[in-house]
Structure 1
Amino acid sequence: MNSSGAPLTLAGLLESLGAPLLTPLTGAQGLDASISVPVIHDQLDPLPEIPGGILLLVGVGPANPDLADLIGRAAENGFGAVVIKSHGREPDAAQLAGAGLPVLVVDDQVPWLHLDNLITAVTRGRPAGGRGAGAHGEDLFVLANALATATDGAVAIEDLDQNILAYSNLERHAVDPLRRSGILARQVPEMEKNAVQYRAVMLTDSVVHFPYDPLDGELPRCAAPVRAGRQMLGSIWVIEDKAPLGPDGEAAILEVARLAAIHILRSQNAVDLERQVRTEWLRSALEGHGSDPGTSARFGLMDGVAPVLLGFIFAPDPAGQRPSHALPLTRQLAIAAEQYCSIFHPNVSSVESGRMVYVLVPAIGTAQAAMRLAGGASTALAARLGFQVDVAVGSVEPGTPGLPELRKELEEVVQVLEVPGPRGAAGRVVGSRDVNAALLLDQLARILESRPRLLHPGVRELLEHDADSGTEYRASLSAYFAATGDVAAAARALNVHPNTLRYRIKRATELFGLDFSTGDEQLALWVQLRVAKPHASRPSPGRAQR
């Protein structure tokens, strides 16, 4: 779903990213099909079911004998397209045309992770740094071409991370291998001289000229910083193939830099606004507001594909206290948790709620995958933030989930996480199935608290007797039931003689009218002894000891 609300098609994606990044090998086949998210796939992993997904086949070239089978299984699992690299071999377009699924080839120099980021940016409706990246991205391309015309040289506009936001595409201008590599990857190639060049650009308010470099064939170029006031936003580069630019050319660069700053700021604000919208929408959805179809479209939830809701919370210290400056840290935790999960899954969203951060991963596949993601996140976030991070993992069930139910489940899991107990060096990662017994017993305790008449009268008398007389009937019977009737084992756990335990069990049946004759009776009594709150001691000096 793109930002306009209309389904994004494969043709729309190709138009947004533009050539020569992706080239369809199967003609117009399937280009009108709706697409959802990119999926980087390892042949050793099971192939997920992602309706409309774009399968990025890492390490699978045109000559791979498993290619046809992978494409066929991808079609069966609902994918909308497959992307491969040629690895220097010419793909057989005629053979791939019968694969039943559109096959695209990406340039070998483009990193898979970068391609994944670009496709994700388009599918999420965020600027992708390409022609179809939204109005502001298009405006930057217009500026780049206008400056290229004025200076008669190829132009590139970059951000602070050396991502290429826009570039001129006038064929008459000379380019070098470094320029071509940067355009293909949308990223300036890493080189030792980059730091020196960019430092020179950032420290000036004018235009800096760099001569031809015979070591790598880099053509002469000039550059100017892009600033908004004192805030550095990026830089503009122009190849000076014919002659160094004069005052008029430099003035044109500085004017375009001023205009580019406006568009970059607007683009950044649009990204921030989209993130804010997603955050507030997720908060509302977790609270039970909003329509299910709207929520599913916003977060990429699909029927038949299991999502997971993760709850991140700082672990308590040995004294049971959490970081004293937890509020600003919680914001950092939200950003870091979303960033980590986004490395492995698309369309991840997060929201803070009190001391906890919720992260929604719309497609996870299996409970095991969810636990691996949570475990890796706990370790990485602790290293980054300097505090142990506990993670509660919700249940993984296929189908569009009820987010309020998932949130309630996580809150119950967190209650179990907050129970004092031994801790290792790392944060705890707990799934709902890991604490199922604790959650069930907690619910039963709540029921007994709200409906005290359900408590067996004999159990009530037993608890009162223990509180008033200091006896240990509750502990004795609980150990007996826990040992499944093995008196010797229960006595060892209590550190008493087996005959002592037998006597206590016999006296409990006589004094409180308890019946152990059936399995149901034993189960009911054990649960009540396990979850009922202990009675406070009542002063009764004249009461006889039983």
Structure 2
Amino acid sequence: MSDRPRASLRRILEDLGSTVLDVAVSPGELDTEVTGVHIYDPLDELLLPEGGILLAVGVDRAEQICALLDAVGPAAGVVVKQPMDVDDLVRVKVRETGVAVLGLTRAASWAQVAALLRSLLAEGDLTEPGETPPDDLFALANAVCALLDAPVTIEDRSSRVLAYSGRQDEADPGRVETVLGRQVPERYRRMLEQRGFFRQLYQSREPVYMELDDDIINRVAVAVRSGDEILGSIWAVVREPLSEQRQQALVDAAKIVSLQLLRQRAGADTRRRLRADLLSTVLAGGGDAAEAAGRLGIASERLCVLAAQLSDGPDADASRGESDRQRFCDAFALHVGAIHPRAAAAMVGSVAYAVLPLHAAGEEEPRSLRVAESFLTRVGSRHAANIGVGRMARNLTEVARSRADADRALRVLRARGASGVVAGYTGVHFESLLLQLSDLVQAEEQTPSGPYRRLLDHDTEHGSELAATLRAYLDAFGDVNAASARVHVHANTFRYRLKRLTEISGLDLADPEARLAVMLQMRIFGP
């Protein structure tokens, strides 16, 4: 493990720059260690761990800010969207609590700043200014900025911003929008593609200078490669072509960024495997569950398991790439992490599992269902998926049962051919039992028996539809008119068929046990 300092509030503010965040009121030094990013919800209990940054959505008045400062404990900072009401009471409260109040630029969304802060924290151990470790993309971006005397972004193949340097306020509005959204806006991507700039960039091993429109400052970019594989690119905002010396500096920087991206890819895979292994141990609920939960930093009491799976068609798992499933799981983990700091999610096989702590007694399943429904609403058509929700587990020893519940609910949704649906285990309990019974029947190679068997044999031999007639009658709860309409025959014809099937099968329709037996066989074996 590294013994370098972890992320400090001062370092994060310097990396983000005044384009996004600035300090509204400071208690003094900003060397507080930042441990995570959390979103304020006035309807939820405020559980902010030490060193957390709270995004105070909807808070702008001085009395609201003071109340939050009293409630957050030893937090690193509270972020409030500008313009905000900062008066002497707020300044006094900041000095008393030692919690900084930060101002978020009006142009940024809360989703953007949450993603920015979490990506900075996910970079690993951030160093203090003056140190430039080789595994910090933001430090590399700042170093390239200094070499080129121009603001820089490092982007992946999809034009998502992986890191950026300072001095972005010197660039044009398009670059500022790119940094805030962590993604090159679609209209700029389309313009670059139409002019063939991406083709030039990925075909050349040298920097490519791009002359753009009058309202956009020109760019110079170089592809980041690993052999023949394009990993991403470095973009600098410039007003004229680079000198030969600076072009070489950009080429050399691309090689260093390539090594870092490869290292991050390998490290991310390792961390994901470790996280999946630890969460699998928690879900198993054995003797090692407590230690695994401790290493993951998740709660150990009043837990609920959610099982999420992509659902684009019956063969979704076979056709989905690993990267698609992992992006879906990452989004799922971000969602549950924003709801509760002691939640965790990881991909186990083709299913993304989440362990979600619950607060209030008596409302466990409705809250879990709302969390799952909210996630599916947010990802929308980008990730068509189903989520099964297990029953509440009072402690880690019951987590395995909650996981089994979630798996069974998810299986019911797959059997229905559903997509974009959330199901709690209690809501699909009977369907789940029928699927389990069907598994047992198939494992023991059992076949229909008794009256139902005789009806099926008669239909096969004579081409009749007596089994369908019986199903319609039972589904209509004995209503002959409704049942006959369902199979498109006259009511008298239906009555004749009903009499005929009882004679052939020996079924006593007045016997509730006999009706139950034949209905179960119909559900398990089909018509």
Short-chain TM bin: 0.5 to 0.7
Q: Which residue of structure 1 aligns with residue 354 of structure 2?
A: 360
- Larger proportion of helix: 2
Q: Which residue of structure 1 aligns with residue 53 of structure 2?
A: 54
Q: What SS does the corresponding residue of 1:66 show, helix, strand or coil?
A: helix
- How far apart are 1:50 and its partner, in Å? 4.3
Q: Which residue of structure 1 aligns with residue 488 of structure 2?
A: none
Q: Which blocks of at least 5 consecutive residues in structure 2 are unaligned?
A: 338-342, 437-449, 453-475, 481-511, 522-527
More divergent stretch after superposition (394-403 vs 252-261): 394-403
Q: Which residue of structure 2 aligns with residue 309 of structure 1?
A: 305
Cα distance change on mapping 1:124 and 1:382 into 2, 3 Å: closer
> Hey, what's the Cα distance between the residues in 2 that align with 1:215 and 1:415?
54
1:388-407 aligned within 5 A: 389-396=385-392, 402-407=398-403
> Hey, what's the Cα distance between the residues in 1 that align with 2:323 and 2:230?
23
- How far apart are 1:131 and its partner, in Å? 7.5
The 8 Å contact of residues 304 and 399 in structure 2, kept in 1 or not, is answered as no
More divergent stretch after superposition (262-271 vs 120-129): 120-129
> Hey, what's the Cα distance between the residues in 1 that align with 2:145 and 2:14?
22
Does residue 181 of structure 1 match 2:176? yes
Number of residue pairs matched by the alignment: 440
1:176-325 aligned within 5 A: 176=171, 178=173, 181=176, 185=180, 187=182, 190=185, 192-193=187-188, 195-196=191-192, 199=198, 200-210=200-210, 214-215=214-215, 218=217, 220-240=218-238, 244-288=241-285, 291-302=288-299, 306-312=302-308, 323-324=314-315
Find the partner of 1:345 among 336, 341, 354: 336
The 8 Å contact of residues 136 and 263 in structure 1, kept in 2 or not, is answered as yes
Q: Which has the larger radius of gyration?
A: 1
Aligned AA (1:249):
R
Tell me the TM-score normalised to structure 2 length.
0.63
> Hey, what's the Cα distance between the residues in 2 that align with 1:178 and 1:384?
28
The 8 Å contact of residues 307 and 398 in structure 1, kept in 2 or not, is answered as yes
Cα distance change on mapping 1:264 and 1:429 into 2, 3 Å: closer
The 8 Å contact of residues 142 and 166 in structure 2, kept in 1 or not, is answered as yes
Cα distance change on mapping 1:190 and 1:441 into 2, 3 Å: closer
The 8 Å contact of residues 310 and 386 in structure 2, kept in 1 or not, is answered as yes
Aligned AA (2:335):
F
Q: Which residue of structure 2 aligns with residue 454 of structure 1?
A: none
Q: Which residue of structure 2 aligns with residue 540 of structure 1?
A: none
Aligned Cα root-mean-square deviation (Å): 5.4
Q: Which residue of structure 1 aligns with residue 404 of structure 2?
A: 408
The 8 Å contact of residues 286 and 407 in structure 1, kept in 2 or not, is answered as yes
The 8 Å contact of residues 231 and 258 in structure 2, kept in 1 or not, is answered as yes
CA deviations on 1:336-374 (whole Å, 9 max, x unpaired) are 642442452226423334xx6241144465533320233
Tell me the TM-score normalised to structure 1 length.
0.61
Cα distance change on mapping 1:362 and 1:126 into 2, 3 Å: farther
> Hey, what's the Cα distance between the residues in 2 that align with 1:4 and 1:290?
30
**Percent of counterpart pairs with the same letter?**
17
The 8 Å contact of residues 15 and 165 in structure 2, kept in 1 or not, is answered as no
> Hey, what's the Cα distance between the residues in 2 that align with 1:147 and 1:332?
31
Aligned AA (1:345):
V
- How far apart are 1:256 and its partner, in Å? 1.9
> Hey, what's the Cα distance between the residues in 1 that align with 2:319 and 2:417?
25
- How far apart are 1:202 and its partner, in Å? 3.6
> Hey, what's the Cα distance between the residues in 2 that align with 1:530 and 1:124?
57
Aligned AA (1:349):
A
The 8 Å contact of residues 301 and 307 in structure 1, kept in 2 or not, is answered as no
